[in-house]
Amino acid sequence: MTLPRQNLAGLGILFVLVGVFCISINDLLIKQLSGGYPLHQIVFVRSGIGILFSLMIVQYEGGWGILRTDHPWLHAMRGILIVIANMTFFVALAVLPLADATALFFAAPLFITLLSIPVLGEKVGPLRLTAVAIGFAGVVIMQRPWADTSALEVSRIVLLLPVLSALTYALNQLLTRKLGVSSKASAMAVYIQATFILVSVAFYVVAGDGRFAYGATNGSVIFLLRAWVWPADSDIWVFAGLGVNSAIIGYCLSQAYRLADAATIAPFEYIGLPLAVVWGFLIFGDLPVIEVWIGITLILSAGLFVFLRERQKARVVARGQIKGAINGGVKRHPSVCITTFPVA
Candidate ranges 96-105, 114-123, 170-179, 251-260; pick with highest mean pLDDT: 96-105
Amino acid 281: pLDDT:
92
Closest CA to 262 of 224, 310, 190, 297: 310
pLDDT digits (tens, 9 = 90+) for 122-162: 788 888 899 999 999 998 898 877 766 555 566 778 888 99
| Cβ pair 241, 232 in contact under 8 A | no
Distance CA 268, CA 252 (A): 13
Residue 78 located in a structural domain: yes
Residue 266 located in a structural domain: yes
Residue range of the domain that includes 194:
9-327
Residue 3 located in a structural domain: no
Distance CA 134, CA 16 (A): 23
Distance CA 237, CA 270 (A): 28
Q: What DSSP string runs through 80-132?
A: HHHHHHHHHHHHHHTTS-HHHHHHHHTTHHHHHHHHHHHHH-----HHHHHHH
Strands (E) in 21-153, as ranges, are none
Residue 250 located in a structural domain: yes
Mean pLDDT of the chain: 81
Distances (CA, A) of 156 to 27, 30, 55, 257, 321: 21, 22, 40, 32, 50
Residue 338 located in a structural domain: no
The count of structural domains within the chain is: 1
What's the whole-number mean pLDDT along residues 81-100? Answer: 91
Amino acid 2: pLDDT:
42
Neighbour count for residue 331 (Cβ, 10 Å):
9
Amino acid 338: pLDDT:
30
Residue 2 located in a structural domain: no
Amino acid 180: pLDDT:
66
pLDDT digits (tens, 9 = 90+) for 204-241: 999 989 988 888 888 888 999 999 999 998 899 999 88
Side-chain-side CA neighbours of residue 202 (13 Å): 7
Give the global pTM: 0.77
More confident residue, 67 or 149: 67
Distance CA 154, CA 257 (A): 34
Which helix (H) or strand (E) is 267 found in, with range?
Answer: none
Residue 315 located in a structural domain: yes
Residue 171 located in a structural domain: yes
